[in-house]
A and B are shown apart, each in its own frame.
Chain A
């Protein structure tokens, strides 16, 4: 971290810095990094971030339509009330949305990834003469909450109130709902008696932290080549004698791009005009680069845009022509004709990477993503486990000697995104 400049006001200084502040200063000094203010809290080097307010709430009161407890499965989670219209409280960067299945929810509309304190406070009333118990807790994106509290209602003469706290990380478009899970109900009696009312509820979200993300690395191929942009390329040998340059090889060119004009792709000629491959030539080709992965970021994402068709068996059970992305040690030198790894990278180990490895076995082609033969897909892979390590990222194209459909593998906007809280 470096201090770019500073202004003194008596004993207090306002510092402009190029990283989150770590320097010693007088208590109360302000440091400005990116779009964040920090204030020195101890006269030493503890700096506390200053936040703008983001908050929102959904509220529902005096609801009077019963829910059939018998229609719910013990241990499953449900929206606290999926049919009512909630009232949106005063909100900054949050809005009320309605989901067909889950009902009203509170959506985060801000730009930065934030952490919010979420508090669900709910009152339920029991059915006729039958006791019931529930868990309640706020749910992010309609998934099961990991923090909840529990309450019991005897019958329709009783109401009980319960509250639960969670801290959630929210990115743009994430939603939160109030949710409920039946734990137990009294046996016997007509099922119609086992109803309850979701009577009152408040869902309150208050921002408590905001992250900043930086593109530690960005390769968009808008300028330069593999060589000038410090990538290493391992293409197969030219099969022709004398060499004609007509074989499957990695090139940087403008025949396709996710954004802008350039990308890296497999081409059948070294004039880089053709975004296609020859499926009669067996190919394993790579390009790679070494990265020192941050030791201080709380989240590290490898992101890239990709396109590929290739070849699979029916039902995608076996892949023949595909792309692969491998993380490995810097001592491993990729060789044309050989895959660097065919196993999944786990922990801090070497291997293939994918956002959903189970879905594609680390192979990028027509069997993965959304229409990847005609549409660019964006892959986001969490590589936080490699924090503090220097690793080699290898991008590979593989095709066998028969069949296969264009286009082959193309890559654009390769990013390593580091998030710091």
Chain B
């Protein structure tokens, strides 16, 4: 959205500015603009209309390692939430409850989400998919990946990336499905990382 309601104040050779929407206006190089809608700050790069969005600090990494408890697959092609408890480590504005991750009040915004897991063999030859469940829903398009394991290839890796809008009530969880059969699977290792973008 283009800049509206632009207000500027001169501070030496630069402008301190505020308005609504992403900046698309011309300002002196180095000027700072704040989008009041998203609470995002930008700095002008070239004295024209190119602006750099500042990075902001809200993030969290949650994980578990060496789990041996299987996730029960009740039906083929049906997503199941992974119930293994996550442990929150370094974080700012992020919390963990049981197997779900979320942001704290006041830290709303758009977040990058990365998940990396190891799946481990229980029985059969199966293709599994693991992805990001938001508020208990099935992973959306692009938010999951898959691999095959069997009695020989007993452990493999699945990773996914996504960008989502989060509020303080949003829950993030891992979900898994078996697209081959109904054999259970162990989500043996997992790391789930989120970082605020805007």
Contacts and interface: CB of A to CB of B under 8 A. Distances in A.
B189 A40 contact: no
Contacts of B59: 115, 117, 167, 208-209
Contacts of B120: 150
Contact of B191 (A10, A12, A147, A209): A147
A133 B155 contact: yes
B55 A160 contact: no
Interface residues of A, number: 52
Interface string A54-94: 00000000000000000000000000000000000000000
Q: In terms of DSSP, what is the predominant structure of the interface of chain A?
A: strand
B39 A154 contact: no
Interface residues of B, number: 53
Interface in B52-73: 54-59, 61, 63, 65
Contacts of A44: 106
Interface in B9-49: 9, 11, 16-19, 32, 34-36, 39-41
Contacts, number: 162
Given A37-B41, A41-B107, A131-B152, A165 B54 contact: no
A14 to B, nearest CB: 6
Given A51-B56, A151-B157, A160-B156, A169 B118 contact: no
Contact of B57 (A51, A152, A164): A51
A197 B67 CA distance: 28
B136 interface: no
Q: Which 4 A-B pairs have the closest CB atoms?
A: A46-B106, A10-B7, A12-B18, A49-B57
Interface of B: 5, 7-9, 11, 16-19, 32, 34-36, 39-41, 54-59, 61, 63, 65, 89-90, 92-93, 105-109, 114, 116-118, 120, 149, 152-157, 159, 188-189, 191, 193, 195-196
Interface of A: 7-12, 14, 26-30, 37, 39-42, 44-46, 48-53, 115, 117, 119, 131, 133, 146-152, 154, 160-167, 169, 208-210, 421
